[in-house]
Chain A
Amino acid sequence: MKNRYNSRSDILDECLRSIQEGKATLEDCLREHPDAGPELRILLETAVNTRDLMAPIGPSPEYVKTSEARLRRRIQAVQKTSNARGATRPQSVSWRILRAAIVVLLMAVLLGSGWGVFSASAQAIPGDPLYPAKLEFERISLAVSWSPIGNVTLLADYSDRRLEEIQQLISKNRDQDLSAGLENYEGTLDLLDAALQRLPVNAGSAQLEDVQARLSHHNHILQDLRTLIPSSTLELFDHAVDRSRQSRELIQNLRLGKGPVNTPPGQQKKDTKQLSPTGQPPKHKTETPLGQQITNTMGLSPTERELEEKTKTPPGQQKKGTEKPPKQKG
């Protein structure tokens, strides 16, 4: 049974929402709910007075302008520091040797004892005991992928896999694991978005087109699946559909956008510090946000970078994909 608060609080919240959205006045609400009595009036008046008294409070336009400029300068300073660190670190011989050793070791693990587990886990879906192993193998593949294009291809493949897993979960009536499947799908799209934006200048267009086509196909599949989704998971499912749409929107914007800014590490072009006259920032930027990501051009001199972009050949020294996929639910 609903208590007094449940029903009254619903009315109060609904009225407040209508007033905030400008769809009704306080008097309209009171007329609509005559049984709510004077209590509703008092509470709504308290809410409206509170809002009105606080409404004029806000930062001055001057503050917003100067603060935003200062904030951007601080962020760019940290990015420059981060890029400068990234530019020198991989040129170290010992780092390259260490990286090569890690790859050899991982290959040995894969080819040795790990191969059996890898094969067995390939068909695993969320909730299966071997599913975490499947994700781990994917994570390793991503970590040892040298090129940005390779990363995008891998992540696009992984997003296909996540969608197939959702299909399998539905066909097997594994409703309890569906949430994990949907979250994994969204997590993979998060990584894919980030990887797409780091594609080098001339390598992106075909890749973007391919990924866009794949995601359009995802959309068709998702629309077909919707009728099969249990109501308890429908909200999460719709969120995943929306997330997929956002990725397509991002790709569309990247395809329409200008080319990347070929900026040497540690140096930022002037036009990246503020919006272009059209209000649009440059795409495919190569700056690293505060060391959270190691970009695909990290460690290259301006000449090497230029060469890499012309030839589209990963120079081998590049490190990419060190970021880990988001925590995925097994």
Chain B
Amino acid sequence: MNVTPLSELSDSILVARAKGGDTGAFGQLYQRYVGDIYRYLFVRMGDTKDAEDLAEEVFFRAFQSLGRYRERGWPFSSFLYRVAQNMLIDYYRSQKMNVPLSAYEPKPDSLRPLDDHVIQDEELKTLRVAIDDLPSNYREVIILRVILSLPTAIVAKWMDQTEVSTRVLLHRALEMLRGRVREQNEKQI
């Protein structure tokens, strides 16, 4: 029998199936978006283990809330980011503190030479500090539009902005990010 593989089904179909209790369909959605959600959480939290733990919770919460999700022009990824953002807020509230950047522990990568490893990790740490230091809407547009490479239309919807204002926001955010990175580098020198 000719059956379309799950990986070829659209998000809408998978969501409809998951709403009917199909864990396989939800598993496919998980495979599709876990990377983005993890990256989003890692940039905000700075810790591999915390990002992993919260990423799984994001998907569990998303499944529990699936009945309330209506597409209506909002892609499923936007719904997931919204859940992730809310859980991040809950996380910070429960911690009652900002995540210390010193907690950041880069993943070991045996394929890279040690020097490259150290340099790149330093750059990454500097970048994370700079992003963390941005105003929240600037930080959000950088994460969504640049790091996650989401299309402007989706970022605009997620941030409740028009596409034009999202583009302007990105422009300003990149300008500020550049300045902050330069400041960080000067401090280190």
Contact = CB atoms under 8 A, between A and B. Distances in A.
Given A46-B174, A75-B26, A279-B5, A249 B18 contact: no
Contact of B35 (A10, A49, A58, A273): A58
Interface in B21-42: 21-27, 30-31, 34-35, 38-39, 42
B89 interface: no
Interface string B1-29: 11111110110110011111111111100
Nearest to A287: B21
Contact of A256 (B3, B24, B71, B177): B3
A250 B13 contact: yes
Interface residues of A, number: 73
A71 B56 contact: yes
B33 to A, nearest CB: 11
Interface in A1-24: 5-6, 8-10, 12-13, 16-17, 20
Nearest to A60: B107
A147 interface: no
Interface stretch (A97-105, A165-173, A288-296, A311-319): A288-296
B170 interface: yes
A286 to B, nearest CB: 8
Contact of A5 (B17, B21, B168, B177): B168
Interface string A244-255: 001001100100
B20 A17 contact: no
Interface string B36-58: 00110011000000011001100
A281 B22 contact: yes
Contacts of A273: 23
Contacts of B43: 54, 57
Interface string A73-100: 0111011000000000000000000000
A64 B55 CA distance: 10
Contact of B52 (A67, A187, A280): A67
Given A5-B172, A13-B152, A50-B177, A289 B16 contact: no
B63 A186 contact: no
A193 B16 contact: yes
Given A12-B171, A75-B60, A58 B39 contact: yes
A256 B4 contact: yes
B149 A51 contact: yes
Nearest to A3: B168
Contacts of A198: 20
A5 B175 CA distance: 11
Nearest to B177: A46
B6 A281 contact: yes
B156 to A, nearest CB: 11
B19 A5 contact: no
B73 interface: yes
Nearest to A10: B167
Given A13-B167, A43-B178, A53 B72 contact: no
Given A12-B174, A246-B13, A289-B63, A50 B147 contact: yes
A183 B34 CA distance: 30
A292 B60 contact: no
Given A57-B42, A250-B13, A290 B20 contact: no
Nearest to A279: B5
A289 B4 contact: no
Contact of A50 (B9, B22, B59, B127): B127
A236 interface: yes
Given A46-B181, A59-B55, A9 B167 contact: yes
A197 interface: yes
A172 B79 CA distance: 36
Given A12-B171, A46-B174, A71-B60, A194 B20 contact: yes
What 5 A-B pairs have minimum CB-CB distances, sorted nearest first? A281-B24, A292-B67, A9-B171, A197-B20, A287-B21
Interface of A: 5-6, 8-10, 12-13, 16-17, 20, 42-43, 46-47, 49-51, 53-54, 56-60, 63-64, 67-68, 70-72, 74-76, 78-79, 183, 186-187, 190, 193-194, 197-198, 236, 239, 243, 246, 249-250, 253, 256-258, 272-275, 278-282, 285-290, 292-293, 323, 326
8 contacts: A6-B167, A59-B55, A60-B107, A72-B23, A190-B71, A274-B24, A281-B23, A293-B20
Given A9-B168, A79-B21, 14 more contacts: A43-B174, A54-B127, A56-B109, A68-B31, A71-B60, A190-B71, A193-B16, A197-B22, A286-B21, A289-B18, A289-B21, A290-B64, A290-B67, A323-B67
